[in-house]
């Protein structure tokens, strides 16, 4: 049996710090971070990573200043719009997060359309699965999974029942979690899926991520 390809997850932290150190507005950091994500996505595909999952926008991020939120949303529309490059690299786009019709969902319609188009237009690709966690929180995901599992469980909820009701039950467990900007915490990201994962913390901010830094993170796996 062929060995399963790796699942790498990234908490993309430090856009604001990158900008502050350069005397730039925070929005400039988010723009630089989006470009760094394109670099990391290409690097992951070149290294035959099977799944790359990134924490794009959390359920808590809505409380940020309105102008910053608008800029981040525009960056995500641009990210999901990179279809020519994604298709050229045989990347399949995926999304996890609060469903658009769920209570509390705040994803604007123009971002919803960009997500749906990216998923639909890359569905036939057979290379790396690139998942963006948008309007995502792991506690919300697990609470929803427990609620759905309980509705169908006759003899109590078992771990497999929870796993089957995650936002995307097809995602394998994470092998490596990367966190940038010197923070050594998980921040409500993939709490179920990172069981057993190795973690790479780096002082680099996310906009400073490169293919070389990605390789240093992969070296944690031995």
**Residues with catalytic function:** 13, 61
151-185: burial string, b at 16+ Cβ within 10 Å, e else: eeeeeebeeebbeebbbeeebeebbbbbbbbeeee
Phi/psi of residue 153, each to 5°?
A: -90, 120
d(CA 87, CA 188): 31
d(CA 66, CA 62): 8
Cβ pair 51, 5 in contact under 8 A: yes
Alpha helices in the chain, H assignment, sequence order: 15-21, 26-46, 66-80, 83-88, 109-121, 138-152, 159-164, 211-218
The token pair that represents 93 in the structure block = 């786009």
Q: Is 36 helix (H, G, I), strand (E, B) or coil?
A: helix
Q: Is 94 helix (H, G, I), strand (E, B) or coil?
A: strand
């Amino acid at each position: 049996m062929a060995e399963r390809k790796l699942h790498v997850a990234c908490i993309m932290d430090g856009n604001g710090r990158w900008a502050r150190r350069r005397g730039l507005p925070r929005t400039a950091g988010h723009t630089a971070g989006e470009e760094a994500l394109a670099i990391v996505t290409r690097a992951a595909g070149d290294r035959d990573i099977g799944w790359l999952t990134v924490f794009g926008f959390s359920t808590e991020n809505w409380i940020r200043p309105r102008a910053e939120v608008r800029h981040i949303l525009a960056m995500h529309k641009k990210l999901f719009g990179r279809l020519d490059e994604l298709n050229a690299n045989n990347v399949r786009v995926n999304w996890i997060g609060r469903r658009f019709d769920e209570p509390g969902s705040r994803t604007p319609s123009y971002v919803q359309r960009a997500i749906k188009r990216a998923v639909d237009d890359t569905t036939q690709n057979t290379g790396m699965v690139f998942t963006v966690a948008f309007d995502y929180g792991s506690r919300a995901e697990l609470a929803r999974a427990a609620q759905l599992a309980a509705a169908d469980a006759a003899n109590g909820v078992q771990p497999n029942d929870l796993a089957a009701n995650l936002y995307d039950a097809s995602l394998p467990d994470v092998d490596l979690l990367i966190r940038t900007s010197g923070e050594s915490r998980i921040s409500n990201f993939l709490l179920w899926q990172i069981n057993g994962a190795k973690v790479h913390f780096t002082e680099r901010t996310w906009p400073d991520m490169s293919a070389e830094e990605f390789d240093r993170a992969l070296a944690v796996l031995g």
